[in-house]
Amino acid sequence: MTDKTQNAMWGGRFAAGPDAIMEAINASISFDKRLYAQDIAGSRAHAAMLAATGIISDKDAEAIREGLLTVLSEIEGGNFAFSTALEDIHMNVEARLKEVIGAPAGRLHTARSRNDQVATDFRLWVRDQCDAAIEGLTALQKALLAQAEAGADWVMPGFTHLQTAQPVTWGHHMMAYVEMLARDKSRFADARKRMNESPLGAAALAGTGFPIDRAMTAKALGFDRPMANSLDAVSDRDFALEFLSAAVICAVHLSRFAEELVIWSSAQFRFVTLSDRFSTGSSIMPQKKNPDAAELIRAKIGRILGSAVALFTVMKGLPLAYSKDMQEDKEQVFDAADTLMLALAAMTGMVADMTANRANLEKAALSGFSTATDLADWLVREAGLPFRDAHHATGALVALAEKKGCDLPDLSIGEMTSVHPSITQDIYSVLGVQNSVASRKSYGGTAPDQVREQVARWKALIG
């Protein structure tokens, strides 16, 4: 495109076109072309409203509508030539529309600005990403529910500080992530609800003198209502920041689970076997089966958090209303959304394919004095000891078992009573890991019946 053509876009304001450096830093078409569907949808709604309010003729509105469908078809078919000289998706679409339908294309931009146009396009795109994230999270929840249902009564060690704490069930551990992901879904849903107001019609920053119907365009685009302040409408990027914030928390959850899968699949644990589809080998060590997908998911939080920090930094000092700094919003959100969806898909695949090694889980649960708390509870419940005294007596029994190189159930009744005379043979009923988990029947506990109830509840909720 020549400087003369470029100058025509701006009217008579500038005597010379931008040089190559200015064009490169100013253009956003390399990334905002992803907004083409939202841009065309917004333009179609705007043109229909302009005709309904008598601002443009029905004939021109019909030409615009048909022309925009032609442009949409060209882009979707890969037959559209994007131009950096035209800066962004809005000008690229409008320029092509003029080539397709001629003069009526020039009436499309009546009563709007690129400021409210891009705010609308971007809001529509982020809204779609909230829906996609919720769908991806639901798929992962279903994979976790299948694991939880299969292993509702499989005993494994529960950890604090990555040290054996108390026995839990495999199903209970899987259900912990179902709960986390539910909160992630609620954050995306909440953000979506709050962002579902239309900026279209705010124009550059002050609204417009044309008799537009903003409620009509809002309804056509699936928004609940128009935004109530034109300055806020064009300058707000809270919706993008909220999406990124929800994505960061979700990525933290995925990273935590990925870390567990890395540990559990190691030769030292062997709690799970990951499928070959989500593992790789070593170029030099033939015995290796590396959990690369889990490790990469664990790393993705860095990119998503970086995107959030970048956009928060961009927005922190901007006066009202629009500033060109805000062009830096899209690449951050695009990358974070792509990264999150890939991580969700990979985690869903891993969870669906992985095999929990039940025997190894139970063997690990039997070690590390995991039923010490059950012993202390028994002393409180059956022997009437204050908990602190019971805790002290249990600690002494653990020390004795450590000295002997055995676990608590391996101590004789004589050795038990030497620590506290109130202990009876009945103590052994609580020292088995199966008895331990079965006793945790409080709401939200690890007892298999509780796990099955929670699985059934969640299956009913998400289908």
307 given a catalytic annotation: no
Task: Write the CB contacts of 448 (distance below 8 Å, at least 6 apart in sequence).
Answer: 152, 153, 169, 171, 437, 438
Catalytic residue among 57, 275, 282, 367: 282
d(CA 158, CA 143): 21
CB 272 within 8 A of CB 170: no
CB 24 within 8 A of CB 11: no
- CB burial class (10 A; 0-12, 13-18, 19+) of residue 326? buried
282 given a catalytic annotation: yes
d(CA 139, CA 142): 5
β-pair type (225-226, 197-198): parallel
- What's the token pair of residue 325? 């700094």
Catalytic residue among 161, 283, 412, 442: 161
Which helix (H) or strand (E) element contains residue 164?
strand 163-169
Task: Write the CB contacts of 45 (distance below 8 Å, at least 6 apart in sequence).
Answer: 200, 216, 217, 220, 221
- What's the token pair of residue 365? 């649960």
* DSSP letters spanning 7-71: HHHTTTS-SS---HHHHHHH--HHHHGGGHHHHHHHHHHHHHHHHHTTSS-HHHHHHHHHHHHHH
Residues carrying an active site annotation? 161, 282
